A and B are shown apart, each in its own frame.
Chain A
Amino acid sequence: MQVTLGPVPYYWPAERLSAFYQSVADWPVDTVYLGETVCSKRRAFSLDDWIGLGRELRQAGKAVVLSSLALVEARSEMGVVRRLCENGEFRVEANDMGAVQLAREAGAAFVAGPTLNVYNPRTLAVLQSAGMRVWVPPVEMPEEMVRDNVDGLGQAAEGLEVEVQVFGPLPLAWSARCFTARAVDRPKDQCGFRCLEHPSGLPMATRDGDEFLRINGIQLQSGRWLHLLDALDSVRDAGATAIRLSPWGEDMAAVVHAYAAVAAGRPAPALIPGLDPAACCDGYWFGEAGMARLARQAQEQEEQV
């Protein structure tokens, strides 16, 4: 299985983004997704900057994909998506049906991003006819449904790459409202870019202290990090050709090395610094509530026996 690095979901300043991607050049990842997917007001990098960065990463041997905005509301935002789809150089991850249409009209092959709501083979076939080459299933999709979809395509599944997110914050919801701005009583139009202060999102806890969700501008993320390192065999068996790691604000290099090792059949390091397994989840993959921690529970039970 290939290893891919999803787009950075947070608002990191330009220096941090540059430093991050400088390290990425040396990491064992095959494909790097670049671009702003959450909020069009975040402009640490312009589209030209992303394209420039993409060229550098390509020089370093990485395949590069430019990701589009998940929620497009204004004409100006669609203008950026259009330029992205017509870049003529890099593949595009379409995260909304408008981007699918623009990629299709530009005759460009595209990645169907996780927000496109692709749940069945007939939908996959429609998108294939529009130019889809890579499918990233919705994050809530369980193992058996990924397999059923790949099987259901039959011959048409040949040549389709299937990329399953296995690590990182789960993108759970989008809104017109900016929750980061709301948390500090500011309207979205005068947000003051307060999300710069939260490089891993703003924690939102229940009133009894459970770290439930994370606020990331107009997006809500899971409070627990998806962590499927122990289940990569089942990810491969379900038909995945690639695993996607979504960047977080801490030691991403350690995460990448651990997953790349296991994907290549080598043992994983016992611990990833800064990652508390008790703060992780894996429920979706096993057909349960997304926040469930099934592998962890099984492990604990085993230890008790």
Chain B
Amino acid sequence: MELLCPAGSLVGLRKAIDNGADAVYMGLRDDTNARHFPGLNFTDQQMQQGLRYARDKGARVLLAVNTYAQPRGWTRWQRAVDQAADLGADALIAADLGVLDYAARRHPGLALHLSVQGSATSAEALRFYQDYFGIRRAVLPRVLSMAQVQALAESTDVELEVFAFGSLCVMVEGRCLLSSYVTGCSPNRSGACSPASAVRWQETPRGLESRLNGVLIDRFQDDEQAGYPVVCKGRFRVDDRIGHVLEAPTSLNTLGLLPELMAAGISAVKIEGRQRSPAYVAQVARIWRQAIDACQADRNGFRPREDWMSTLAELSEGAQTTLGAYHRSWQ
């Protein structure tokens, strides 16, 4: 089982690999990647440096070109695919049918992974991508229960990659327009959810308010930790109740599911967080490396260590973790 870690920068890439990542994923500095934030991601030269570093350490590098290409920017997506091939990336992570089609025809030697943004949840959907583009692996959206993941793994020969740890997307990836409804920018089209330019913080007599393009997402009292204003983790009113109607700020942590994920034949566990600090990536990678090694050595006897769990909880949004949709009761 591969431990796949985020690389939002060259320093982050080195930290991830030094702390046990088998592979890292990265993106270019534009809207071809779904984590298009200022100050993140890679220039051509940095990508080459990153690849060299990874090669020297025996790690793999995957390039994410996982937004949806639009007619007027098509050449950017085309160029990003060409770069992945020219640099010798170990795989391209993509969701767009047009991008996958271009990559498969132009660079038949380039391994293709279906991005989580492709929202593929069934063997039939995977068969489509396999038939057309020969995808080797697919990243599953965070919507399936553990039993459904197992059933899917049994019914496909596409490698499956699942999210293991990090910020929890509550909605089906690739199917969420909440950010574009409010700000005009969405992960699909511009690679951004709740872009910083639309965020306003304001001290008011009723508390610290966070607004997204004018829409009140949350209001915090002095003793509360203020979360970033994404719509799905704000507090709203339904009937007469105010609360986290969609989801509280929390992170996904599937460390306890490792034996089951391994038994199901999951090929890779993915750590979320290209926008997080190199120190964060280092800590998370180190714990997951130890856990995977321990689980591989003794799957039946594996138990997540308490110090791992407490450190991961400290690194989590709102200091809370959840099994998310893997656990049916969350749904």
Cβ contact within 8 Å between B144 and A73? yes
Known: A101-B127, A148-B71, A178-B331. A183 touches B239 (CB 8 A): yes
Binds B, one of A30-38, A251-259, A285-293: A285-293
The CA of A2 and the CA of B80, in the complex, are separated in Å by 39
Whether B87 sits at the interface, judged by CB under 8 Å, is no
Tell me if B238 is interfacial: C-beta within 8 Å of chain A: yes
Residue of B nearest to A102 (CB): B124
Check A48 for interface membership: any CB of B closer than 8 A. no
| B-chain residues with CB within 8 Å of residue A104 when the two chains form the complex | 128
For A112-140 the 0/1 string (1 means CB < 8 A from B) is 00010111111101110010000000111
Instruction: List chain A residues, Cβ under 8 A from B329.
Output: 187
Instruction: Select from chain A the residue with minimum beta-carbon distance to B184.
Output: A289
Known contacts A96-B125, A97-B125, A207-B216; is A183 also within 8 Å of B236 by CB? no
Cross-chain contact B102 with A174 (CB below 8 angstroms): no
Contact (Cβ within 8 A) A183 B238: yes
Question: Given contacts A119-B188, A189-B328, A291-B182, are A70 and B175 in contact (CB under 8 A)?
Answer: yes
Contact residues of A between 194 and 223, Cβ < 8 Å to B: 202-210, 212-213, 215, 220, 222
Min CB distance A259 to B, Å, is 22
- Are A176's CB and B143's CB within 8 A? yes
Residue from A78, A202, A206, A209 having most chain B Cβ neighbours under 10 A: A206
With A126-B97, A176-B325 known to touch, is A289 a contact of B181 (CB < 8 Å)? yes
CA distance A264 to B58 in the complex (A): 66
B271 → chain A closest CB, angstroms? 21
Chain B residues with CB under 8 A of A175: 143, 170-172, 246
Which of A100, A119, A173 sits near B128, CB closer than 8 Å?
A100
- Cβ-based interface call for A188 (8 A): yes
- A28 at interface by CB-CB < 8 Å: no
What is the number of residues of chain B that contact chain A, defined by CB distance less than 8 Å?
Answer: 74
Cα A110 to Cα B213 in complex, Å, equals: 38
B36 CB, min distance to chain A CBs, angstroms: 16
**Contact status B238-A98, CB under 8 Å:** no
Among A120, A220, A284, contact of B71 (Cβ-Cβ < 8 Å): A120
Cβ < 8 Å to A, chain B residues 205-263 = 213, 215-219, 231-232, 235-239, 241-242, 245-247
Is A126 within 8 A of B98, CB to CB? yes
Question: B124 to A117, Cβ gap below 8 A?
Answer: no
Task: Decide yes or no whether B310 CB sits under 8 A from chain A.
Answer: no
With known contacts A188-B331, A289-B183, A120–B68 Cβ distance under 8 A: yes
Q: How far is the CA of A203 from the CA of B236 in the complex (A)?
A: 10
Name the one of A98, A122, A152, A287 contacting B122, with C-beta atoms under 8 angstroms.
A98
Interface centre among A145, A283, A284, A289 (most CB of B within 10 A): A289
Q: Which residues of A contact B218 (CB under 8 A)?
A: 207
Q: How far is the CB of B200 from chain A (nearest CB, A)?
A: 14
Smallest beta-carbon distance B72→chain A, Å:
6
CB distance from B256 to the nearest CB of A (A): 19
Within 8 Å by CB of A206, from B117, B232, B237, lies B237
Choose among B71, B101, B181 the residue that contacts A149 (Cβ–Cβ < 8 A): B71
B30 within 8 A of A: no
A101 touches B128 (CB 8 A): yes
Q: Which residues of A contact B145 (CB under 8 A)?
A: 73, 176
Are B143 and A120 in contact, CB atoms less than 8 angstroms apart? no
Contacts of B95 in A (CB 8 A): 117
Q: Are B238 and A203 in contact (CB under 8 A)?
A: yes
A289–B214 Cα distance when bound, in Å, is 12
Decide if B132 is an interface residue (CB 8 Å cutoff): yes
- Given A73-B148, A102-B124, A206-B216, does the pair A173, B245 have CB atoms closer than 8 Å? no
Cα-based distance from A81 to B125 in the complex (angstroms): 12
Closest residue of chain A to B234 (Cβ to Cβ) is: A206
Q: A100-B128, A119-B69, A172-B181 are in contact. Are A71 and B98 (CB under 8 A)?
A: no
> What are the residues of chain A within 8 A of B120 when measuring CB–CB?
97-98
Residue numbers in A under 8 Å from B232 (CB-CB) = 173
Task: Decide yes or no: A148 and B216 within 8 Å by CB, A189-B328, A289-B182 being known contacts.
Answer: no
State the CA gap A188–B189 with chains docked (Å).
31
CB within 8 Å of B: which of A285-305?
287-292
B177:A123 contact, CB within 8 angstroms: no
Would A207 and B70 count as touching, CB distance under 8 A?
A: no
A sample of 26 cross-chain residue pairs with beta-carbon separation below 8 angstroms, ordered by A number, consists of A71-B143, A71-B175, A97-B129, A98-B128, A100-B128, A101-B128, A117-B95, A119-B96, A120-B68, A120-B69, A122-B97, A122-B98, A125-B101, A126-B97, A145-B71, A170-B177, A174-B171, A176-B143, A176-B330, A178-B331, A182-B246, A204-B236, A206-B237, A208-B216, A213-B178, A220-B171
Closest CB pairs A-B (n = 6) = A122-B98, A98-B124, A148-B71, A176-B143, A290-B181, A176-B325
Contacts A120-B68, A222-B181 given; 5 further ones with Cβ under 8 A? A75-B151, A96-B121, A117-B95, A122-B101, A188-B331
Binding site for B on A (CB under 8 A): 70-75, 78, 81-82, 96-102, 104, 115, 117-123, 125-127, 130, 138-140, 145, 148-149, 152, 170, 172-179, 182-183, 187-189, 202-210, 212-213, 215, 220, 222, 283-284, 287-292
